[in-house]
Amino acid sequence: MTGWDIDPEGVQGVLEAAGERASDLEGWGEHYGSTLESAAAAAGTLSFGGGGGGGGEGEGVGLVGLALSQFAENTRGDVMYIGARIGKSLEGAYNAAVAYLEGDEAMAAEAQRLALLAPVLDLRAPGEDPNGPV
């Protein structure tokens, strides 16, 4: 752990500033899906004249709406990962700094190591059974 030189006030300031930015991103992530859904609805549909649109799945959603829907579905995990990564990094920096300041350099190194691991995400839809379909 040689080479660590931690200024507690500096660490606190950086963590507070980063936490505020993370809160901004959290709000953005919450509105991500609804914004894409709204854009898909506003994109409208194509009409080639004649009868009603074919009656299949996705009726009432045009090509742009369908593309936006698929984009949202395929990027959902990425958006969730960004938030989880930020949270894990901030928590790890805090834990490592606290352990170091308490004189436990081994614990500080372990906190830093754990913070670098990729977060594990739960990508199930809200209310989805954790044991899978019945």
Contact between 90 and 119 (Cβ < 8 Å): no
In a domain, 98, yes or no: yes
Contact between 45 and 29 (Cβ < 8 Å): no
In a domain, 84, yes or no: yes
pLDDT digits (tens, 9 = 90+) for 1-45: 456 677 878 888 998 999 888 888 777 877 887 888 888 888 877
**Tokens found for residue 12:** 């606190």
What is the rounded (10 degree) CA torsion for 91, 95, 97, 98? 130
| Upper half-sphere CA count for residue 36 (Cβ side, 13 Å) | 18
Please give the pLDDT value at position 66: 87
Grade residue 132 by pLDDT with cuts at 50, 70 and 90: low
Mean pLDDT computed over every residue of the chain: 78
User: How many folded domains does the chain comprise?
Assistant: 1
pLDDT digits (tens, 9 = 90+) for 59-77: 567 888 888 888 988 888 8
Q: What range does the domain containing 85 cover?
A: 8-36+61-115
In a domain, 18, yes or no: yes
For the residues 87-105, what does the mean pLDDT come to? 84
Using a 10 angstrom Cβ sphere, with 0-12 exposed, 13-18 middle and 19 or more buried, the burial of residue 108 is: buried
In a domain, 51, yes or no: no
* pTM for this entry: 0.59
Grade residue 55 by pLDDT with cuts at 50, 70 and 90: very low
For the chain, the straight-line distance linking the first and the last C-alpha, in angstroms and rounded, comes to: 51
